[in-house]
Structure 1
């Protein structure tokens, strides 16, 4: 078990008031109704939920609590990878066997080879769930995925790819954030996906965080809160349920809950100041669901249980104190952080007892499904408790229109996915994020029209080189990956000899990347460093005279850098985090809000 260190630096970040974010989205935008209309809608909602539940068997009620992955891209074609997990081969058979409430799509499960195939899969799975069966209700599925944008994406290559949360935080434009998630939601819904496990509501106050980082909008709680609210508004306006994660906050840890068990050492006051504001903002915006974190917060629950299994945290804090009555979903139950203390059967039951409604991505489907069913039959989980969760789940499905429109029009997919106006808005996000922190060398914009591009990420290096070439700059390039070899470094020195500037991309800079940069500088090259992931790399590079941060290696981010270097657009981004000194984390090297105007 590891405990993440608290630093005075992190406390200073959390307590600095954010000024001027100007959330451009009104809470409940587009949802205002008169009292009589709202009452009628509420009656229709309740009537549908009641009528549906009246026909549901206990097995169906239990099945609604489970969202599982399935292997394959066709609901009715056998995929043998399903057999070890579920005992059946067809994705449709998995849905039918467990009476699933939902499925989750992953690229590694083969669900998203193309946009059209994904839409067909969604329709096939919905048909499996809605096919009439004796004595059972017909209930539409939630079909979900993790399309956070940035480094966590699931959609096929045709989809619009935005640069990610921290890029949006650097851009300081909440309307752009709303549009990002509205467009993402529109494309998701065209594929039949109606739940997005986004936005990330974590406040990344720990630069060493191995799992959140640029998935977070900022280290500033208010900035995160503003953009989380904007993201929720965007997704849900597209009839896609948003899901703020990871409650009660995963931003101050140096342990990855996929592989270990983090412990957050915030005091209760620190939690209120740092972690709580984004979740409060999401709740105020009417978010459909909130995802739990597989970590311990002793200030909220001294038992040592992960938050996913903690009644004091999920019922006591989230439901009773914050007033949240929407759907609570676990993070993946296959992660190490939730499996260290209890077996899989007990994990599933304890999660429901704690206040969870949805059990996500079970690593032991038969074990956990039967454990919950047996807990209901023996009275450990009361029928009333079970029905409370099912009512929330069905209410979410109703609110996003699944009771009326569970299927999608496959013929319209190609006109929606990656549409030109979507791509243009994504480019605006990439442009606005670029942050110029250092330019003592006077290289931004490039004073001459020749450049050499190298460093981390072959595709990113190629994209930046193409952007510079398109801007009229004679450019050559060669990627090195994140761990350049001595031979690659020597080649870079030779290849950059005739360029007026050498641009090096870094990705969480390490010793090999530092060696590339220092060798180029020692050889007399004029070096511009571009950090394409976490912006903290500069504290490891004291000799660098020009440094930009993009928070993303996506094509739109690289094109944005090219435009800044060419002088086509200004560097408009501002640091959404503090960058501490490498040798003293209590000392701020570059403060939140920093950025040069060029």
Structure 2
């Protein structure tokens, strides 16, 4: 057996063109040939398996790539390297049309606009382009990052609190479907920066956290999800933007870590993602002295980082894409044309060049004078074409705009978002098991709002369980007056509500808020719930006086709704904080609670009801009120201990009484028929034991001879 393997090994060395190597080693032992064969076999096998752009029908892919490439002029080949920005809200489509006709660009990145206008524009652009365009987007938390009228999933920092990574994979899959529906082929996500600097101005909430394993597992799950839908993922920002205190949009940040640390921590997610078939990587604009000896030299222009590290050492074979080349982190370095320098460094795709014409001219001149070889140009252009084939652009079809908005906002996505948020919110402290609040008798509760955003959704959901009064801290000028007011309550729930429009919104407490809530927590049984970035907790003066501390991450309605329900125990706490705060709570910590027997609130589809059918209740109630069957109604539908429909209609009395609302109190009487008989009849009907046409005589033999014998259930 070994002789056959040795013979094969010798043959492979010859086939590989390593004749000289073969001749020099001809005197060596058969054992060495055996070792060389397996080394060679492993290398070849690894390379084939790890090409993320190769399709199953790779022979057809190669034919299309080769024929497309061979049909191009030099200028058209160079044009494929460029991806330009498209905005349909601040409409720049005319200039993009010109880039397509003049420079045969390779693709566009969507920056703002509405779904329909964007699709109509990209359809037209595709029709104008000789080679199909690769359409990309920054969709880190979904299309909403750039496209209006679409769903926004939680920030990565919030997702970092999840214990179950299958949620992240499902989000990736959902975003992939949305991309596909819009004709988007590559999503510049996930962010895999490990956020070890709380003061990072540009990453922060965009990171899954500070732990490399948690970040990696979340990134792998997201990538699996989105690429399962035929959309390329793009990990960013290589070689790691998580420990900067400056924004590369505005300047060139410096990473001071040694090479060993970067290889072990910052690059850890990339190594795992490469094994999973990651489609592309985005290169950041960073100064990394341990990886690049040239002073203040952007990583996106560094051959040492792009080629030597990423392509050769880490053996990445997917698309390599620069971060936007108009950012200050790279434009300040102007010793040579930036596009040319980025290409010479090893990048395949030049994103958002400051001057496409100048870039193309510089690259063509460098090609003509021998600075760039034909092999180098062919390598990147064919890789881009492989990616285009991979996402189906060899059979491009225009995107249909019929039902586009509804397709991008399916109820299943909202069900997923609700379920995800229910597993994110984190209980960090729970002295004496104060939360959930179980005793509602003689427990007077108030919600004290701090922060600059509304907490009314939080307040409304708190009031679904008991009467909770509402006070705004900003309405008080003197602390003593507020403390006097709060002395009337047994429990104070402080909700710190800060903006959640973008991951970069302000999140800290004001000095007044910090001082006042510290005093309040020392005088009252206090629950603090923070609807903001985890790092906001770092400014708290003293956490020991709080009964409970809840991290709710974002101030969107769904986060407020779920937090309120958790405080009263209808949903359990499951989250774990993804970063360390207060020098006390470490990444990965979080207290788990258990659900009480109280009803929770959610979407009808979460219990397999149809929202559209439930909404027909409105018309039935209207008929009831208009025909004076009742002046008003409180109506609640629940299944599996979850309320999925809760509305109030009309007035308490016919003669212009007060409006009915969720707090209206009714006298209840004669309920046996409604609460006992009716549900039993419904259950028997559902189990096909009776029908609505069954008669009293059939069901109750003792009534056969009575005048009610022929009455039906109906």
Match among 564, 571, 574 for residue 573 of structure 2: 571
User: Could you tell me which residue of structure 1 aligns to residue 60 of structure 2?
Assistant: 44
Match of 1:429 in 2: 420
Q: CA deviation at 1:90?
A: 5.3
Once the 2 structures are TM-superposed, how far is the Cα of residue 515 of structure 1 from its aligned partner? Answer: 1.7
Number of the residue aligned with 2:152: 161
The number of aligned residues is: 525
Do 2:518 and 2:541's aligned partners in 1 also have CA atoms closer than 8 Å? no
| Equivalent residue runs for 1:363-512 within 5 Å | 363-440=354-431, 444-446=435-437, 448=440, 450-452=445-447, 454-458=449-453, 461-469=455-463, 474=468, 476=470, 500-505=491-496
Instruction: Give distance in 1, aligned partners of 2:148 and 2:170.
Output: 20
Contact 1:214–1:551 (8 Å) recurs in 2: no
The worse-fitting range, judged by mean Cα deviation, of 419-428 and 546-555 is: 546-555
1:228 CA displacement: 1.1
1:433-489 deviation per Cα after TM superposition (whole angstroms, max 9, x unaligned): 111112338653345575435333525x344334435566646476x9xxx798699
Equivalent pair of 2:509/2:539 in contact (CA under 8 Å): no
- In the superposition, relative to structure 1, how do residues 428 and 492 fare at CA in structure 2: closer, same or farther (>3 Å)? farther
Partner of 2:107: 102
Structure 2 counterpart of 1:268, from 231, 247, 259: 259
The more displaced of 310-319 and 485-494 is 485-494
- In the alignment, is the contact (CA less than 8 A) between 1:70 and 1:94 conserved in 2? no
Residue 521 of structure 1, CA deviation:
4.6
Aligned equivalent of 2:70, options 48, 54, 58: 54
Distance across 2 between alignment mates of 1:258 and 1:297: 16
Q: Which residue of 1 aligns with 2:139?
A: 147
Number of the residue aligned with 1:538? 537
Match of 1:93 in 2: 98
307, 320, 323: which is aligned to 1:315? Answer: 307
Could you state the TM-score of these two structures normalised by the residue count of structure 1?
0.80
Deviation of the 1:510 alpha carbon: 7.4
User: Contact (CA 8 Å) 1:330, 1:360: kept in 2 or not?
Assistant: yes
Deviation (angstroms), 1:274: 0.7
**TM-score normalized by the length of structure 2:** 0.68
Q: How many angstroms does 1:491 deviate by?
A: 11
The SS at the match of 1:242 is strand
Question: 1:193 and 1:347 mapped to 2: Cα distance?
Answer: 27
Structure 2 residue aligned with 1:229, among 216, 220, 235? 220
Structure 1 CA distance for aligned equivalents of residues 536 and 260 of structure 2:
31
The yes-or-no answer on 1:589 pairing with 2:584 is: yes
Tell me the alpha carbon deviations over residues 43-88 of structure 1, each in whole angstroms, 9 at most, x when there is no partner: 0110110111111122211111111113435xxxxx8x64xxxxx8
Q: 1:547 to 1:387 in 2, by over 3 A?
A: same
Which structure's relative contact order is higher, taking Cα pairs within 8 Å and 6+ residues apart?
A: 1
More displaced, 491-500 or 168-177?
A: 491-500
Q: In 2, are the aligned partners of 1:452 and 1:495 still within 8 Å (CA)?
A: no
For 1:125, the equivalent position in structure 2 comes to: 125
- What's 1:331 paired with? 323
Q: Return the offset for 1:320.
A: 0.5
In structure 2, the residue matched to 1:14 is none
Aligned partner of residue 403 in structure 1, secondary structure: helix
Q: Give the direction of change, closer, same or farther, for the CA distance of 1:42–1:199 in structure 2 (3 Å limit).
A: same
Q: CA deviation at 1:592?
A: 2.0
Match of 1:548 in 2: 550
Tell me the secondary structure at the aligned position of residue 58 of structure 2. helix
After TM superposition, give the deviation of residue 379 of structure 1 in Å: 2.9
Q: Does the CA-based 8 Å contact 1:306-1:337 persist in structure 2?
A: yes
SS at match of 1:368: helix
Match of 2:84 in 1: 68
Alignment deviations for residues 203-252 of structure 1 (CA, whole Å, 9 cap, x no partner): 11122222111211121112211111111111111121100000011111
5+ residue gaps in structure 1? 1-31, 74-78, 83-87, 130-137, 582-587
Q: Is the 8 A contact 1:453 1:464 kept in 2?
A: no
Query: Could you say which residue in structure 2 is the equivalent of 1:8?
Result: none
Shift of 1:335: 1.2
* Whole-Å separation in 1 of the counterparts to 2:369 and 2:486: 72
Q: 1:191 and 2:171 equivalent?
A: no
Partner Cα distance (2:299, 2:525) in 1: 50
CA distance in 1, matches of 2:62, 2:292: 35
In structure 2, the residue corresponding to 1:56 is in which secondary structure? coil
Superposition map of 1:183-222 within 5 A: 183-222=174-213
In the alignment, is the contact (CA less than 8 A) between 1:509 and 1:537 conserved in 2?
Answer: no
User: Could you report, residue by residue, the CA deviation over 1:502-532 in whole angstroms, capped at 9, with x for unpaired residues?
Assistant: 3232658877524224324535565433333
Q: Which residue of 2 aligns with 1:181?
A: 172
Q: 1:401-449: CA deviations, max 9, x gaps? A: 1222443221142342121111111111111111111233865334557
Kept in 2: contact 1:261–1:294 (CA 8 A): yes
Give the RMSD, CA atoms, in angstroms: 3.1
